[in-house]
Amino acid sequence: MMDSSQIVLSALRKDITENILQLKAIIQDISSCTGPLPALNALNSVGRSKISSLRKSIDRFSDVAKDIKDNELLKELALQKEQLASTMDTFKKVNLKAMLSIENAAKEELLRPTKPTELRQRQTTQRSALTLDTLTASSDNVLGTEEELKVTSGAIGQSGKLLAKYGRREFTDKVLVFFAFIFFLACVLYIMQKRLF
């Protein structure tokens, strides 16, 4: 029974070692991957399958070690689990770093100006400068016109006051002429009445 356990443990150790080495090679490939994103995704898929195989081998090793109840095997199992956790952590970090690198490269590619883009930007800048000059001149004209309108508005206001004053005087003059005419008619009627009667 011991011999078969040793054979199984030996096969599992070999499988674990092969999976770890292959996973480290995949981590190296991911670390040097500069894109495109589908290539990185393919490497991730292979890496995840290796992690899954490694985890299964460690679980089988754990079952055998628990059956035998050997302290040395349990220590070896703890080291294998630590190595798995460390390798998975490295896998995640390298993966994130590669993704960020690919995204940054894509952003730089998009933002990198080309010759026609530079020419358009230069032309746009020149048009903006001309538009700014035109707006400044128009603003000065508007300010001058505003001052003229204020002066004209003041003159119109004064003229309106004078016209209102003259309108009141004209009305007063008409009322006085009307009363004078009535008084004149009253005098004429009074004189005619005295002479006729």
Per-residue pLDDT averaged across 179-189, rounded?
Answer: 93
DSSP letter assigned to residue 197: -
Q: What is the rounded average pLDDT for all residues in the chain?
A: 82
Strands (E), 51-108: none
Of the candidates 17, 11, 14, the one whose C-alpha atom is nearest the C-alpha of residue 87 is 17
pLDDT over 80 at 43, yes or no: yes
pLDDT over 70 at 114, yes or no: no
